[in-house]
Amino acid sequence: MTVTTIQRTPATHLSPRLTAATTRRVLRQLRHDHRTIAMMLVLPSLLLGLLYLLWKDLPTLPGQPGIFDRVGLTMLGIFPFVVMFLVTSIAMLRERTSGTLERLLTTPLARLDLLLGYGLAFGLAAALQAVVTVTIATTVYDLDVTGSVYLVVLIAVADAVLGVALGLLASAFARTEFQAVQFMPVIVLPQFFLCGLLVPVDQMAGWLQAISSVLPLTYAVEALQEVGRSATATGTMWIDIGVVAGAALLALALAAATLRRRTS
């Protein structure tokens, strides 16, 4: 007997076409969720406004940058990191519990295609978010940035992609929604405490500095501080962005390695 055979090349390694298809799919899901889009775009600006009002009438030391200029700028990198970490770990857990993940793993889609697809989709969403937040911050809240605001957007996007990558990795270890949500404080808060915003890194105890120096958010914050104080892009800033991007890629690779095709 004859069986109709359709010859197609098996795509088991990375395929830009399948990655793009996955990015489109994730963005379509987002598009149907109007409230999430609204919150993604507006929430960071509103929170930043709260910080602005908090310090607006406090005197600043002569010759020192205002507290809001320092904290506000740093928050431009921290918001997208936190938001995208949460959104991604929930999205991936949903793939797992709804049975779509198991199904995707039986198709030609490579695991890294799936993860990169998520990274690109939420990276794009984060770019939009960063443009809105940076615009509002520099116009409405008079945030002073010595360097280019485009670099601020770039760093915010790199932070968002880092958040996505760590979210994807964390979701591999979460079996339930309760666990997934609690990975936020585990992964995010230590990085926030030690990133140099609360206490400058060089004033921390030696062992805390050591921990701080292996946490990627530290480099994101340093990059933003560089843009805040220097009119032109500094070498330190590019190295920092490189470290953040490298950490994101490493987390994606680890996430792909921990995503098992066969399960018990």
Closest CA to 227 of 244, 215, 241, 213: 241
Region from 96-104, 135-143, 156-164, 206-214 binding another protein, contact rule CB under 8 A: 96-104
Angle between helices 149-171 and 177-194 (to 10 degrees): 140
- The CB-of-164 to another protein minimum distance in angstroms stands at 18
* Number of Cβ within a 10 Å radius of residue 160: 30
Nearest one of 74, 71, 80, 78 to 53, comparing CA atoms: 71
Residue 2's H or E segment, with its range, is none
Q: For another protein, what does the binding mask look like between residues 213 and 232, x meaning CB under 8 A?
A: --------------------
Stretch that binds another protein, among 2-10, 166-174, 190-198, 232-240 (CB under 8 A): 2-10
Nearer to another protein, 108 or 185 (CB): 108
Q: Retrieve residue 161's tokens.
A: 């992609």
The tokens describing 190, both together, are 């230590």
Position among 37, 46, 90, 100 found at the interface with another protein (CB under 8 A): 100
The verdict on 175 binding another protein (CB under 8 A) reads no
Applying the rule CB under 8 A, the residues between 22 and 61 that interact with another protein are 22, 24-25, 28-29, 32-33
How far is the C-alpha of 135 from the C-alpha of 140, rounded, in Å? Answer: 8
CB atoms within 10 A of CB 95: 16
User: Between 102 and 121, how does the x/- string for binding to another protein read (CB under 8 A)?
Assistant: xxxxxxxx------------
For binding to another protein (CB under 8 A), which residues are involved?
A: 1-6, 8-12, 17-18, 21-22, 24-25, 28-29, 32-33, 98-100, 102-109, 261-264
